Amino acid sequence: MSVPTDEPVAPDESSVIETDILIIGAGPSGLYGAYCAGFRGLNVTVMDVLPQCGGQISAMYPEKPIFDIAGFPAVRGRDLVDSLVAQAQPYGPRYLLGHRALHITHETDGRPVVHGDKGTAVRAGAVVITGGVGTFTPRQLPAGEDYLGRGQVYFVPDPVEHTDQDVVVVGGGDSAFDWAATLAPIARSVRLVHRTERFRAHRATVDKVRALGIEIITDSEVSALHGASRVERIEVRHRTTKATRLLPAHTVVAALGFIADLGPLKDWGLELRARRIAVDTRMATNLPRVFAAGDITDYPGKVRLIAVGFGEVATAVNNAATVIDPEAALFPGHSTEKEN
């Protein structure tokens, strides 16, 4: 995954950064928002608690094809993020990766100041929150926590690392089946274990995994992991018969879903609806100079798609521009009118 150049991570010591627009969240909507702000000639800073750009795409399905991006019949998650970073890069956005936004204050002139967990504060003309589902914590594999980082993983950011390995994927959702299908051509073996015979994954994805000949072990749970310095094999127990099997495993992917949490944003005084941020047609929140876009927002008729997030963040940034400068036009102009 491409990492932005110039200043990808700010120093940890206390400092105050001045910026026109602070975007909180470096997922697809946030990255496109950085382009929209740069196109208008605005200075932009992007903050994200994750150490890389891309949000859930980078963390959970970088190799998965995405089919609902306008103009692309299919685009791999990793490539989409790389392209969004490249699109914004000519405008020199500053990235604060690995920084969590803790709380917000407003100065006497109304400008928001967002304080991060590493002592950095960002004073902005406006803030645009594009935090997706907020902070997401993987659901733990009870039998595998002792081997976390020693063969037990939650995500597969680089499938090549698992070449010629015995892999066991635990879970029944789309991520579990996607990773099983992705790893099958390069791993020595791939098995999928799920606690029931019913799957949350789409039927077409399940059929694809079956067609690849991947063994799917249902009504079973991983009861133990074994190995000296790292995982070497796992024990799988049938939930009804209690019979057990020992399977070779260099990698155990715990794809059991995640718990989403708005984290510190809950205490900012934002109007929330079912753990989402309420916005109006300008994508403005109830806080002055604070906007939001993407999956983290809620309004009547909301559709949670990446494509929708792109339109929302363009709306948010351009409305924020008129708040920063009341003389500025809402419409930014067409990109085709800009000189190369």
205 annotated as ligand-binding: no
Q: Is 58 annotated as a binding residue?
A: no
Q: Is 29 annotated as a binding residue?
A: yes
Residue 243 assigned as binding residue: no
SS3 320: helix
Residue 207 assigned ligand-binding role: no
Q: Which amino acid is at 322?
A: T
Beta bridge partners of 237: 221, 244
Q: Is 61 annotated as a binding residue?
A: yes
Question: Is 101 annotated as contributing to ligand binding?
Answer: yes
Residue 301 vs residues 193, 298, 304: alpha-carbon distances, Å: 37, 9, 10
CB–CB of 295/132 below 8 Å?
A: yes
Within a 10 A sphere around the Cβ of 269, how many other Cβ atoms?
A: 13
- Is residue 56 annotated as involved in ligand binding? yes
* Cα dihedral 311/315/317/322 (nearest 10): 160
DSSP string, 29-78: HHHHHHHHHHHTT--EEEEESSSSTTTHHHHH-TTSEE--STT-S-EEHH
The binding site consists of: 29, 48, 56, 61, 101, 136, 295, 336
The binding site for FAD consists of: 29, 48, 56, 61, 101, 136, 295, 336
